[in-house]
């Protein structure tokens, strides 16, 4: 008998990611504002500052994924601090609007094949995501939703990973024992909390700029 009855996936940078580079998003946001083209070197520096700060424990502690309001406040403040407003007035807000748009997200090349293979093996599938906005429109658009039995998003529950309640809530919705559930994610600060909930965890390395995510390795575990 299979050790697992369900697989729970993180969403961002595990199944889906923002389409194109951050620099591309900044240029798109500037174009939407109607400003002159931005200097590529300055754009690259600003985006590097965003990346360097966004996944730190300090930023995660600001509760950006606990509500939609807090999400916008924290991210636009981060964009401001990274220098977006110095590039163009209003750029932080326009960049934020782009990042939460369903059209700005893409699935990794191996996402749908992996989800289909997991489903073909008779396992239930869920998503547990720390997010301050609704990812369902993006997952609908990208074709993920038909494979998902449940989606648990932090802003709807007011609690984020690594809290064990996030993972246990997902398991309850899947009607499966945590010990029979595999959690797949990419962030050791948050996704590893599933261990304390009694689950097994498979952590992916940072994604490459192009190509598959490495989700095929999940199939060797189930």
- The DSSP call for residue 12 is B
Q: Which two tokens stand for residue 18?
A: 């923002």
Give DSSP secondary structure letters for 63-114: -TTS-HHHHHHHHHHHHHHHTHHHHSTTHHHHHHHHHTSGGGEEE-TTHHHH
Residue at token pair 């807000």: 93
Q: What does pTM read for this prediction?
A: 0.91
User: What is the C-alpha separation between 153 and 46, in angstroms, rounded?
Assistant: 29
- In the chain, what are the helix, strand and coil shares in percent, each to the nearest 5? 50, 15, 40
pLDDT per position in the chain (222 positions), as tens? 578 999 999 999 999 999 988 899 999 999 999 988 899 999 999 999 999 998 788 888 899 999 999 999 999 999 999 999 999 999 999 999 999 999 999 999 999 999 999 999 999 999 999 999 999 999 999 999 999 999 999 999 999 999 999 999 999 999 999 999 999 999 998 999 999 999 999 999 999 989 999 999 999 999
Please name which of 141, 8, 12 lies closest in space to residue 71, comparing C-alpha atoms.
12
């Amino acid at each position: 008998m299979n050790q697992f009855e369900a697989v729970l996936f993180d969403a961002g940078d595990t199944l889906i990611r923002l389409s194109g580079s951050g620099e591309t998003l900044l240029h798109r946001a500037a174009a939407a504002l109607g400003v002159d083209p931005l200097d590529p070197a300055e754009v690259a520096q600003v985006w590097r500052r965003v990346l360097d700060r966004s996944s730190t424990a300090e930023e995660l502690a600001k509760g950006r994924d606990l509500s939609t309001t807090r999400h916008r406040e924290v991210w636009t403040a981060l964009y401001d601090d990274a220098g977006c407003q110095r590039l163009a007035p209003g750029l932080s807000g326009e960049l934020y609007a782009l990042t939460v748009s369903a059209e700005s997200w893409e699935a990794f090349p191996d996402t749908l094949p992996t989800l289909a293979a997991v489903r073909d093996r008779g396992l239930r599938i869920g998503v547990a995501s720390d997010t301050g906005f609704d990812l369902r429109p993006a997952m609908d658009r990208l074709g993920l939703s038909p494979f998902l039995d449940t989606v648990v998003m932090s802003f709807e529950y007011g609690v984020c990973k690594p809290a064990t309640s996030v993972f246990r809530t997902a398991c309850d919705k899947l009607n499966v024992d945590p010990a029979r559930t595999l959690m797949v994610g990419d962030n050791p600060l948050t996704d590893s909390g599933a261990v304390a909930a009694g689950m097994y965890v498979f952590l992916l390395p940072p994604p490459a700029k192009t190509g598959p995510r490495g989700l095929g390795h999940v199939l060797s575990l189930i």
